[in-house]
Every structure is written in C-alpha cells, then in structure tokens.
Amino acid sequence: MALLAALVVYPLLYNVGLSLRNYRTGEFVGLHNFARALEDPQFFASLRATGVYVSAALATELTLGLALALLVHRTIHSGWARALVYVLFLIPMVTPPVAAGVIARLIYTPTYGILNVLLLRLGAISSDVLWLSEPATAMFAVLSVDVWQWMPFVFLVCFAGLQAVPADTVEAARVDGADGWRLFWHIEFPYLQSLLLLVLVFRFTDTFRVFDHVQVLTAGGPGATTEFLSLYLYRVAFKFFNLSYAAALSLFVLLVTSLAFAVLGRYLVREVSA
Amino acid sequence: MVVLLVGALAVASTAVAAPGLPPKPAKLTMAVVAGGETKGLKAILPMWEREMGVKVELVEFPYPTLYEKLVTAFQANAPTFDLLIADDPWMPKFGSEGWLVPLDQTFGYQRDPDIFPVVYDLGSWPPPRGPIPPGEAGKPRRLYAITLVGNVEFFMYRKDLLPAPQTWDDVIANARKVHDPSKPFYGFVIRGAKGNPVISEFTPVLLSFGARIFDNNWRVVLNSKEAVDALRFFAVELKKYAPPGVANYDAAERAREVATGRAAQGFIWPAEITDIVENPAVSTVIGKMGYTLAPRGPGGKHAPLMGNWLLAIPKASRNQRWAYEFILWATSARVQRPYALGGGIPFRRSILQDADLNRRFPFFKAMADSLAAPAEWRPRTQEWFAVEAILGTHVNAALAGIETPEEAITKAAREIERHMKEAGYYR
C-alpha cells in the first residue's frame, strides 16, 4: 500500500500541485495553467492532429485485424500453419517502437528509400513521393507504423476470441443456411463484442499517448502537422521547461484515458454481472 | 618559427598553473557526451595518465541525458564529477546558477593569444556582448569554461566544379551552374528537419541577412523585413536547388548526399567531415571538397554558427585543482596537436592554421576563419531551447510549404514573445 502511494499517489498529487503553480516562481496561480490551454492554438492543433491519428489508427487496426482474424480462422485449419501466422504477427509487436520508427524512416526516405524505389520501378509513380515532408503523407507514414505494429494485436485477440465460438453452434447455423456475413454477425460477433471493446480501449489509450516512433520518424513535422498531444507535451516540458503547463496538459491526457477505462470498466462489470 | 611559437605557448600554458599541486587523487571523473566529440579526448588520455599519473575516468551519456545528469548532480551539489564537457548553449543555465568553478578567479587563469577571443567569450558569464538575462547583468564576469571541441558550422562546396562562394548570390550562381535533378546532382543540400537541425542551418542565413531574434533587452525583433527575406531565400530560393524531401533531412542525410556525389554545396559541421565527407571508407568525393566561411548575406555579414563543447569544473568537485591542471594540459598547444591527429576537433589558432595539419584536415583553415569571424552564438538565455523549438517548427513549416515565410516569421515571433514573457523576461 505504501509502495502504491509512493509510486502512484505521490507523483499524481505532486503533478496536481505543479499544475496549480507558476513554473518559474512557484507562486500559486489556481487554474491559470488550465485556462491557458483553452487559449493555446498549438494545444488545439495538437489535439486535432491527435484526433485524426487516433480515429484513423483505430478504424484501420480494428477493421483489418478483425478481417484477418476471420480470414485465418475460416481458411487456415492446420495447426502448424496457424502457429506460423501467430509468430509472424508477433514480430511487429515485439519490435521496439523506436526501432520501428528508424526502419520506417529508411523505407520512406525520398530518393533511396525502398518504397519510392519500388513504386518508381513498378511505374506507379513518376517522381519521388515526399512521404515525410508533406502533411498528408507524413500523417500516413506515422499511421502506417502504428498499423503495422498494432494491427496484429487486434488480430491475435480476435483470433483467440473466435476459437471460443462453439463449433456445433456454427455448424448448426451453416445447416440452417447462414452465409458468411450472417454467421459472423449473429454467431461470432457476440463472442467478440467484449474483446473488441477491450481492444478498442487499449488501442485508444495507446494511440492517444503515441510518442516514440513519431518522434523518430517526423519529430512532429512537417511544421506541426504530426505534433500529437504527447509530442506537444514533451515540447512544453523539456524544451520550454514550463513544467506547470505540462503538468496541466498531462492531467488532461490522464482524464481522457481514465474516461476511456471508466467506460470499459462499467461495460465489463455489466457483462460479468449479466 | 612555428615550432618555436608553439613551444613558447606550451610553456606559457603550463606556466599559469600555480605551483604546489595537492596530492594526486585516485582518479578524476569526467562527464562527457557519447559519440564522436570525445574521439580526440580518448586519444590523449593515455598521454595524460603517462605524464601525470592520474587516471581520468570518462562517464559517457547520450546528448539529452548528459544535460539531465549534470543538472541533477549540480542541484544535489553532489561531487559526482570532477570535470565535464558542456554544449555551449548550456552555459547560460550553468552560469546563472553558479554551478561551475570560475577558472580566472579561483586559479588565476591567464588568457592565451593563441586562443580565439570568441572561445573565452563563450566560456564567460555573464556574456560579454548581446542581451544578458534578467538578474544576471550585475554579476561580475568570470571565465567558467574553456573549449575542448572547437565545433563551428561553416560551408562546403565541390571545389573541382565550383569556385569558393563568398556571398549567397555566389551560392545561387554556383547552384544554377551544376544543378541537374535528372542525374541527379543538386546545387545545394539543406538540413531541414524540424527543431534543432533546421535552426542550425537557418540561423547563419538569418544573421547574414542582418536579422536578429532579440534586441539587447530581449524584445523579439524577429518580425522584420530582413528575417522574412532570409526565410524566403532559405525556404524558396535555396530549396529550388535542394534534393526533394529536405524538410525531413538531418545531418546524416545531408552528409550522405554530398559524400555520394549527389549535392554540390551546403553547410557542414567538422564531425560530419571526418566521419563521412572525408572518410575514404564511405565517401566518393575525397579531395574534391573545399571548405570556407558561411556565405555573406545582404546584411554584409558572414555568420558561422558556434557549437563548441566546453571543459569546466563543477563546484562540488573534490579535486578542483587537479581538474584545472587537466584543463590546462588538454587545451595546451602541445597536446592539441596529438588531440587533432587522434580525431579531435581542435580550437587553437596555431593548430588550425598549421600547414601540415591542413594538408591532412583540409577544413581546419575554414574553422580558423570561422572562429575569427567571429562565429555567432545562440542567444545567451536558458530559454534558447524553447526559442529553437518554436522557430524550428515554423521554419520547417515554411520549408515544407505549409506556411509562407511571412506567416512563419509572424507566428514564430508571436510565440517566442509569449514564451519570453512567461519566462519572466518582461511583463
């Protein structure tokens, strides 16, 4: 209990205290640092960029992960082939995000990056695409790393969930003439529902706090187009050394992620008690 | 003659050490940055240990960690380190906090004419020119650090194809002459990645156009015609001759473009030359590169950028006198030669102008000229990292075409002013 207090409660209270003071003089300023956020265009720009990133990453990862899980579940039945798929999907997840960022930087670099070279040879493009220095493509580039790294997590959870669907129920539905879509919607999806919510909350909180690979790949650029909330927070804390404002922003991040977990918690309690 | 002069200077350097050293400590512990900056230091350490019989233990940290470790040790007044090397933009923090031993006041350090005055200016606090942070102006000026790594940013060009550019007009004329993306061969390569990279690149252009970020009272004067012209030149004119995607180029990409024979001109730091551009293992342009001062702008000024690493002694060190002896020894003309030959970046006039060494290191003269120019330093404030982050975002946005030069300068000036206000520089 004391350890918990030392590791969690004290830093949290310290952070709250910091957010209510002037970072330079230590003077008590009430909610000034929170009010400052409301009139900070860079904060809103980072929030917008984070919104785009989170929604695009979640939509892509959930759709692709689920689709692939269904595909593998329905088409691959051999044990060793499934094991191979498992191992292949684990590789991105165990890659450190910084390493993933470095690899992606090499792939997306114009002129000698493998992606441009391949696309040019295939005739898909006639001149180099500036993946990391145009706003839309830079967003795509940072998203692609997230999807590569974390779509497998969605896949693995959904695939495991699909194994829990009773084979005789599926068989009965098929005998009754259920096609692929109906089978999924009426039989399989109910088994996956709580798992998907769990995945959604985990991925939401992770993408909301994304930092490592973005810092390596674009450092928030070009301009501030991929400067997500966590990168802006880092800038405020470790470049501006405005620790009080950074503390206020971090409490905002804590609030949003806590809300997401509260929704999950409430749902899970309902599921368990149902 | 040169030998005599070097000899005399070496004697002069050791002569300033007060006689009667305290007993030898078991070792001196020195905090250093991990990477190429310590190559020369590592080369001379066995010599020091042989001559003095005192071990120097290097504790290496990556760049951002070193700053944090030093600040933490200073705040705790812990005798963890006897010596340190510090990046020059850290001096305002270390100087204002009074964390370092004043070398002139404590040990009677005498200035050496073989060392460029800008080196002493850089290691002094409060700074001898430019704006001084609030509360610092009344403090007596002391020398707290002496350069070990004479890093300075200057200019490189393909001397087999082009004449040495003196002005930015010359640079454009050169670029026009050789630029041919179909080969591909680019007229100019920009290190344009957001933050520190693009600001290291843009600052010499900005200053050479006669623009400034602050006046002498820290009022932001960035929003000027000169600054907008400088950014337009940088983000539009120079970019025309740059490889695609430079808005995300850091030092490695820039050096690679030159070393592989794909770019003709650009800024350069010494470590990139020794590691890549003049490294026969990776470069195809050995013997083809010329090095010169950062070009002069319409403001009529060459503005090479200072990036020295400085040797200093923390106040909490228990071996200050021996640490000072090490500083005198390592920065002496006698030792700077093996230091340079061992891959270090020297900073003494006599070493940088030495004909023999210049044959081996063809960029030494450009370094000497840059330090004599004198090289410009980043504004001497603890807030520089914030200023760099703000300006670095907007200059990068201009380079990527997201903001116009006018927008970028206006927004940057506004945000810098707000930050300086919050930091207590004015109401």
* pLDDT at residue B17, as a whole number: 42
Report the distance separating Cα B378 and Cα B306, nearest Å.
Answer: 8
Q: B186 pLDDT exceeds 80?
A: yes
C-alpha pair distances (Å), B281 with each of B60, B163, B255, B274, B287: 26, 26, 14, 11, 14
Q: Do A111 and B419 touch (CB under 8 A)?
A: no
Q: What is the residue-wise DSSP string for A130-149?
A: -TTTSHHHHHHHHHHHHHHH
Q: Which residues of A touch B385 (CB under 8 A)?
A: 239-241
> A170 CA to chain B: closest CA distance, Å?
52
Mutate to test the interface with B, among A240, A242, A245 (most CBs of B within 10 A): A240
* pLDDT at residue A272, as a whole number: 66
Q: Average pLDDT by consecutive 10-residue portion of chain A (274 residues)?
A: 84 93 89 92 94 97 96 92 92 94 92 90 91 94 97 95 90 86 89 91 93 94 94 90 92 90 83 67
Q: Which helix (H) or strand (E) holds B364?
A: helix B364-372
For Cα atoms B75, B79, B83, give the angle at the middle one, nearest 5 degrees.
100
Q: Output DSSP code: residue B115.
A: B
Q: Which helix (H) or strand (E) holds A50?
A: helix A41-75
**Region at B265 (left for phi over 0; alpha for psi -120 to 50; beta for the rest):** beta
> A183 CA to chain B: closest CA distance, Å?
48
Report the distance separating Cα A150 and Cα A172, nearest Å.
Answer: 34
Query: For residue B309, what are the β-bridge partners?
Result: B87, B149
Q: Do B243 and A111 touch (CB under 8 A)?
A: yes
Q: B4 pLDDT exceeds 80?
A: no
Q: Which residues of B touch A109 (CB under 8 A)?
A: 245, 248, 253
Please state, as a whole number, how many other Cβ atoms lie within 10 Å of the Cβ of residue A76.
13
Query: By the 8 A CB rule, do B187 and B264 touch?
Result: yes
Structure tokens at B52: 């003095």
Q: Do A222 and B382 touch (CB under 8 A)?
A: no
Per residue in B322-332, pLDDT (tens digit) is 999 999 999 99
* pLDDT at residue A112, as a whole number: 80
Pick the residue from chain B with its C-alpha nearest to A245: B422
Query: What does chain B come to in residues?
Result: 427
Q: How confident is the model at residue B13 (pLDDT cuts 50, 70, 90)?
A: very low
A258, A211, A208: which is closest to A53 by C-alpha?
A208
Helices then strands, counting H and E runs in chain B, come out as 19, 11
Report the distance separating Cα B77 and Cα A80, nearest Å.
Answer: 61
* pLDDT at residue A176, as a whole number: 86
Q: Which residues of A touch B423 (CB under 8 A)?
A: 24
Contact partners, residue B165, CB within 8 Å, separation at least 6: B155, B157, B171, B173, B174, B265, B292, B295
Arithmetic mean of pLDDT, B136-148? 95
How much of chain B is in helix, strand and coil states, percent to nearest 5?
A: 45, 15, 40
A231, A148, A157: which is closest to A192 by C-alpha?
A157
Mutate to test the interface with B, among A139, A239, A245 (most CBs of B within 10 A): A239
Arithmetic mean of pLDDT, B275-298? 95
Q: B82 pLDDT exceeds 70?
A: yes
Arithmetic mean of pLDDT, B55-67? 92
Q: B3 pLDDT exceeds 80?
A: no
Whether the predicted model's global pTM rises above the 0.80 cut: yes
> A5 CA to chain B: closest CA distance, Å?
24
What's the mean per-residue pLDDT of chain B? 93
Report the distance separating Cα A213 and Cα A100, nearest Å.
Answer: 7
Measured on CA atoms in the order A80, A85, A90, A92, is the torsion positive or negative? positive
- Say which of A128, A130, A242 has its CB closest to residue B422: A242
Q: Which residues of A touch B195 (CB under 8 A)?
A: 219
Query: For residue B314, what are the β-bridge partners?
Result: B100
B289 three-state secondary structure: strand
Query: For residue A165, what are the β-bridge partners?
Result: none
Report the distance separating Cα B167 and Cα B295, nearest Å.
Answer: 5
C-alpha pair distances (Å), B251 with each of A98, A106, B13, B149, B363: 19, 15, 36, 18, 17
* pLDDT at residue A255, as a whole number: 92
For residue A99, the number of C-alpha atoms closer than 13 Å in the C-beta half-sphere is 7
Report the distance separating Cα B357 and Cα B359, nearest Å.
Answer: 5
Pick the residue from chain A with its C-alpha nearest to B246: A133
ipTM over 0.95: no
* pLDDT at residue B18, as a whole number: 46
Report the distance separating Cα B392 and Cα B379, nearest Å.
Answer: 15
Query: By the 8 A CB rule, do B197 and B191 touch?
Result: yes
C-alpha pair distances (Å), A96 with each of A142, A150, A221, B104: 15, 12, 21, 48
Report the distance separating Cα B308 and Cα A190, nearest Å.
Answer: 64
Contact partners, residue B338, CB within 8 Å, separation at least 6: B43, B44, B47
> B424 CA to chain A: closest CA distance, Å?
8
